[in-house]
Amino acid sequence: MNSSNENSKSAVILGLALVLGLSVFGLLMGKAAVDYRQLERSVAVKGLSEREYPADVVIWPILFTEANNDLPKLYTLLDQRIATIQGFLLEKGFKPEEVTVSAPAITDKSAQQYGGNVNAEFRYTAEQTVTVYSEDIERVRTVSKQLSALGKQGIAFTGNNYQAQTEYLFTRLNEIKPAMIEEATREARAVAEKFAADSDSVLGKIKRASQGQFTIEDRDKNNPHVKKVRVVSTVEYYLSD
């Protein structure tokens, strides 16, 4: 009889222990699930950094044309024009190593099958380019406005050709990258903090982040020597109550 009572008590105790254990386990699992869902709450924001910098390299192609019915004379005339342009540039303060000359492009109109050039005044036409590659942006901008002095000497410049467009470059991107990335990330965090405050949440750690590509563009069509550098960073933060 005593043995039976002891067995019954043991069974009751074991059952209560199991119920209590399952209850505690259920509570722990429930809390873990809640914590997990809280960890999954997040907000993704973007931060922008945009700055203006002066170009630091300029490529200035000076394209001119000549025409003649005698090919050797045409080449002689091209050499004379090149010497005149080079002398003008050196006089204006450019260094010899900043000035290069391309090979001429000669067109023989009598050799063309199409185009109706049978009655053209000159059989041969030539295009040649003298290129200035310099870091002195202001000198190029000033001297390029003075080419009329050479035009008065009979040099015919081609200004509307795509190959004759001056190109301004910004080559110091690696120097400014760290500061701009820091600025974009800081702005993204400020946006995230505002969102968290408005939603009665607490901003947590970064869940993931990605840096967009840097873009370099002219500030506007009238100031191609001023560059606008831009980068957008995307950052996702955890949120909690």
- Does pTM top 0.85 for this prediction? no
pLDDT at 233 over 90: yes
Same structural domain for residues 66 and 155? yes
Supply the pLDDT for residue 39: 53
Tens-digit pLDDT profile for residues 26-62: 444 444 334 444 556 899 999 999 999 999 999 999 9
Task: Please write down the long-range contacts of 213-217, taking CB distance under 8 Å and 24 or more positions apart.
Answer: 214/173, 214/177, 214/180, 216/170, 216/173
How many structural domains compose the chain?
Answer: 3
Same structural domain for residues 160 and 64? yes
Q: Tell me, what CATH number does 220's domain have?
A: 3.30.110.170
Same structural domain for residues 177 and 142? no
Supply the pLDDT for residue 126: 95
Same structural domain for residues 150 and 100? yes
Same structural domain for residues 79 and 164? yes
Q: What is the domain extent for residue 32?
A: 1-40
Same structural domain for residues 233 and 180? yes
Supply the pLDDT for residue 225: 96
Q: Tell me, what CATH number does 95's domain have?
A: 3.30.70
- Domain C-terminal end among 134, 169, 204: 169
pLDDT at 212 over 50: yes
- Domain C-terminal end among 113, 140, 169: 169
